[in-house]
Structure 1
Amino acid sequence: MKSFTHTTLVVQLQAGDTDRCPVLAHLSYDAADPFAVTFLFSHDGRVLARWTLDRDMLGDGLSRPVGMGDVRLRPASTGRWEELRMEFLGDPRPDGGRHHAVVFVWAPAVAAFLRETHEIVPPGQEKVRVDDFLAEVMAGG
């Protein structure tokens, strides 16, 4: 039985007031962490950022605005393109602001990836290994 899935997408990154530029987004899902989807963003072989998102939140963001704090998602339509707008707030800057980036992802590709994750662990069938989690917390991980 399959316990892992991965895909790579070309997405559009907009940082600050700049125009959009293409970067790669590597999405991965592992049944060992059934609530999480990891996004690793890269450009020219360099890792730009890595974010772990809640799988349900990611799915909800395809149809309505969700999130608060460091991650916010919402559907966005640009003509015939249906996109998922992903807003990330990062570490504080010296001027008191925070690093800020927006990523636009083709929504049907995210939906297809989520369907693959649902084949691995159906929604509502996620299991949390509490003993492992507590051991990790107690070890400072």
Structure 2
Amino acid sequence: MNSMVRRTLVVELQAGVTNRFPVLAHLSYDPADPFAVTLVFSHDGRVLARWRLDREMLADGLTRPVGTGDVRLRPESRGVGRELRMEFLGEPHADGGRHHAVVSAWAGAVGDFLSDTFRSVPPGSEETHLDAFLTDVLTGR
């Protein structure tokens, strides 16, 4: 039986042009939903945001820019380390603007987490249970 993969990382939330401050990113992967990774960002015990990302997109973001919509990922070099830059666009404001957050994570830690998910459910072996999903949707469960 495959089990959940979880990891908590200290990441940096960009505030303004150059300031960054640490927040926690709780990554989780459930083999029952094999295409998705959930990220929950928190600070001082408060949940700041929750995002579900495509696992393959997250892996691709470690090596090349990906995403054109609400989530954009790309690798960056900072000093001696490699980072994963994650850009998130939220719901529109009444004035037409949108919430915008930039988070940087150490690429090695994200890669280690993904390696654990790939051991749990190897890429290409993901299964979807479409019949069960359609039954749930059609019966209103």
TM-score (norm 1): 0.94
* Residue 76 of structure 1: aligned partner: 76
* Residue 52 of structure 1: aligned partner: 52
Using the TM superposition, give the Cα deviation of residue 15 of structure 1 relative to its aligned residue in structure 2, in angstroms. 4.2
Q: Which amino acid aligns with 1:57?
A: M
Are 2:35 and 2:56, in contact at CA under 8 Å, matched by a contact in 1?
yes
1:107 paired with 2:107, answer yes
Using the TM superposition, give the Cα deviation of residue 133 of structure 1 relative to its aligned residue in structure 2, in angstroms. 1.9
Counterpart secondary structure, 2:125: coil
Structure 2: distance between partners of 1:79 and 1:17: 18
Q: Which amino acid aligns with 2:115?
A: R
Q: Identity of aligned pairs, percent?
A: 67
CA RMSD in angstroms comes to: 1.5
Long gaps (5+) in structure 2? none
| 4+ long deviations beyond 4 Å | 15-18
Using the TM superposition, give the Cα deviation of residue 93 of structure 1 relative to its aligned residue in structure 2, in angstroms. 1.8
Distance change (3 Å), C-alpha of 1:45 and 1:80: same
* Residue 7 of structure 1: aligned partner: 7
Figure out how many residues of one structure are paired with residues of the other and give that number.
Answer: 141
Counterpart secondary structure, 2:103: strand
1:26-65 maps to which residues of 2 (within 5 A)? 26-65=26-65
TM-score (norm 2): 0.94
Structure 2: distance between partners of 1:90 and 1:140: 28
Structure 2: distance between partners of 1:25 and 1:101: 13
